[in-house]
A and B are shown apart, each in its own frame.
Chain A
């Protein structure tokens, strides 16, 4: 069964971008271009607190997603079985 990575606990994200850099390292590059994960900053209009949103490209499964899950210091991600596509 295929595994997928989800940013289940996105409210914990601190925007460190280590997930981006891990994904890029697995593709043997350093940088942001063509990254399979993107992190966006967004201020909450009511509280003015800075929050983050993640966009994960479905092609992320070509990578070792468990390493991406592990490198996150805030445990934002969960890796689980993809029950929809199997």
Chain B
């Protein structure tokens, strides 16, 4: 069962080929996504980390379908966002962030199932890894990385850092479940938000859709870069900003799931992120 009372990070030491899960109760105030990713960038700064994070609503509510990726490139902090099913798989793996640090001695593929990491030879067939229907994969196709064979990121930051780290691809499988305490309220709110398609800034189309988003828009393929800190910490889609920058709605979603956040926590988030970026820059 997914534990939402703490932030769980799966940290992977690529050089030693070791992984462990740590729980941080004191990092709840960073919410998730970019907020949490930046905090882990500060914590692991000396190890050139690459951080994938989801937010508190990913997997639970519609239009919260992105995964945040935080990294440092040429002394600049970059935050990019990728669509597809990666965010739901990370969430259902029961973890909030995956931190890769160090450099693998050989070209390696990471096969992650919940909190367990297997380091696979570069020639391993990606389709042989993980559990079909419950996995998501990021693999190179030519010089670009694709998630679920379709979704990608703007720029080449992710490609560059994964090549530097000798990582050829990542499969992640999530098999944990969650049951909100007041399930009827959760279901009602879920359907209300799902029904707000007209509030999105994209039109429905016939492209592959991110997990939990019915729209199949033409924008999701290339992901996002930068943007609103609340959206990015929830890791909601930037085109759902009318929904997820509304603090009342965000608070209702969090509350329904059983998170113990207050309005003040939401309002304090931008300040915390600014402070974390200042600490990273020192």
Contact = CB atoms under 8 A, between A and B. Distances in A.
A31 B174 contact: yes
Contact of B133 (A25, A40, A50): A40
B211 A17 contact: yes
A18 B215 CA distance: 11
B52 interface: no
Nearest to B62: A18
A3 interface: no
A15 B150 CA distance: 12
Contacts, number: 86
A16 B207 CA distance: 10
B60 A30 contact: yes
Interface of A is mostly: mixed
A18 B209 CA distance: 10
Contacts of B157: none
B133 A15 contact: no
A16 B211 contact: yes
Contacts of B150: 50
Chain B CB count within 10 A is highest, among A15, A32, A73, for A32
Q: How large is the interface on B (under 10, 10 to 19, 20 to 34, 35 or more residues)?
A: 35 or more
Contacts of A5: none
B179 A17 contact: no
Dominant SS among interface residues on chain B: loop
A28 B178 CA distance: 9
Interface in A3-22: 12, 14-18, 21
Interface in A42-60: 43, 50, 55
B208 A15 contact: yes
Interface in B207-255: 207-216
B151 to A, nearest CB: 10
B214 A29 contact: no
B154 interface: no
A79 interface: no
B209 A30 contact: no
A38 B175 CA distance: 13
B212 A14 contact: no
14 contacts: A15-B208, A16-B214, A16-B216, A18-B62, A25-B190, A29-B177, A30-B59, A31-B2, A31-B176, A31-B178, A32-B88, A32-B177, A50-B208, A74-B216
Interface of B: 2, 59-60, 62, 85, 88, 92, 132-134, 148-150, 174-180, 183, 187, 190, 194, 204, 206-216
Interface of A: 12, 14-18, 21, 24-25, 28-35, 38-41, 43, 50, 55, 71, 73-74
